[in-house]
Amino acid sequence: MARPGRPAMPKPNLHPSVDAFLDMLTTERGAALNTRQAYWRDLADVSLYLRNSKNSDIDRATTDQLKAYLKDLSEKTHIKGANKSKIAVRTVARRLSALRQFYRFMVSEGTRSDDPTSTIESPKQGRTLPKTLSEAEVTQLITTAAEPGTPESVRLVCLLEMLYATGLRVSELVGLPMSAIGEDSEFLTVAGKAGRERMVPLSDPAQEALKNYMDTRKRFIGSEGQANQEQWLFPSRTSDSGHLTRQRFAQLLKDLARNAEVDEDRVSPHILRHAFATHLLSRGADLRSVQKMLGHADIATTQIYTHIIGENLKKTVKDKHPLSKKAGAK
């Protein structure tokens, strides 16, 4: 299924080596379905270009053909404006990364003797800091979500409190089984990427929100297909999976942001995950603990949040310091 606003990609029959590569990602690296689909989209796009423009296929592509593809991709995705330019660069870099992994796999399997990406340089990317929210904005979202007092409102407050208390990925949150709730609801056991399991503590407000939600949870379980829904912490009567979907939760947050008068472009499940990490670190939490709670395999991924704090501090000094020109102009 295509993403909203994106035309559906034709479903070509890809070269068997692509299927073998995707199978390897799943069986050897424990890649999630979303990761596998992302690689499929990247490699399918390259395959279509090579077939339509170069009378070739991905298994026998040359370095020059791949350079031509990346140049064409860059021109198609480039839109004037600093932020749009960064999007184009990230798209090209991600596609090249997928190609590199694919051809290294082919070489390791002996189905190709050379790696055509070995001499292709990655595009230079400026450091893009993730969006986040202030503590006041998070509080405003939770307060606004609680106002209706309906079962849907109680569920949304629980989702917000749990996400802000744990920093879970949205797929981890909506897909929590009932068995994830620990003794006395003080922690969650989360199955993360590549099957890595971690325990995450729940804050007092999150525990209270969970208790309130459990009193209304059965309202979200239909009379049919009950077994498919009962196992999930956030069941859904309308979802094929039996639980609340990522897309529905994201839409609920957009609606909430408008009601709370918070910029909806800065409100999403992933941005609340950023807020969790940023606010913890700014209040003195150690980086290693935050890494474990986020489920990052590499601490370098977690370190990006220290840069957000640094940028915020610089802005505070610029705006508030008595010798700052900006502060003096107010």
* Number of Cβ within a 10 Å radius of residue 5: 5
- Per the CB < 8 A criterion, the answer to whether 185 and 207 are in contact is yes
Q: Which element (helix H / strand E) includes 55?
A: none
Single-letter code of the amino acid located at 65: Q
**Catalytic residue flag (residue 292):** no
**3-state secondary structure at position 197:** strand
**Which pLDDT score is estimated for 204?**
95
Say whether 241 sits in a helix, a strand or coil: coil
**Quick check: is 237 catalytic?**
no
Statement to judge: residues 213 and 305 lie in one domain: yes
Does a structural domain hold residue 198?
A: yes
What is the model's pLDDT at position 325?
55
| Separation between Cα atoms, residue 58 and residue 15, nearest integer Å | 7
Residues 63 and 187 in one domain: no
For 104, the domain range is: 16-109
Chunked mean pLDDT (size 10), the chain, 330 residues: 48 90 89 88 95 94 95 73 57 92 95 95 67 91 96 97 92 93 86 79 94 94 73 91 93 95 91 88 83 80 65 46 50
The reported pLDDT for the residue numbered 203 is: 93
Give residue 75's pLDDT: 82
Q: Which two tokens stand for residue 113?
A: 């003797």
Marked catalytic residue, from 67, 78, 270, 292: 270
- Do 220 and 100 fall within a single domain? no
Q: Is residue 140 part of a domain?
A: yes
From the candidates 95, 155, 274, 296, give the one annotated as an active-site residue. 296
Q: Which of 36, 67, 100, 193 is catalytic?
A: 193
Q: HSE on the CB side for 194, CA within 13 Å?
A: 7
Domain endpoint, select from 57, 91, 109: 109
164 assigned to active site: no
Options 169, 217, 274, 279, the catalytic residue: 169
Same domain, 156 and 99: no
Does the residue 53 lie in any domain? yes
Q: Which of 155, 217, 273, 274 is catalytic?
A: 273
* 122 assigned to some structural domain: no
If asked whether residues 63 and 143 sit together in one domain, one would say: no
CATH of the domain at 139: 1.10.443.10
* CA separation for the pair 57, 52 (Å, rounded): 9
pLDDT confidence of residue 297: 75
Active site (annotated) includes residue 296: yes
Provide the pLDDT for residue 43.
96
Which residue reads 């949040």 in tokens? 305
The candidate with the shortest Cα–Cα distance to 295, out of 129, 168, 165, is 168
Residue 149 lies in a domain: yes
Task: Verify whether residue 266 is a known catalytic residue.
Answer: no
Which tokens belong to 291?
């890494």
pLDDT at 194: 66
User: Known catalytic residue: 305?
Assistant: yes
* Domains held by the chain: number: 2
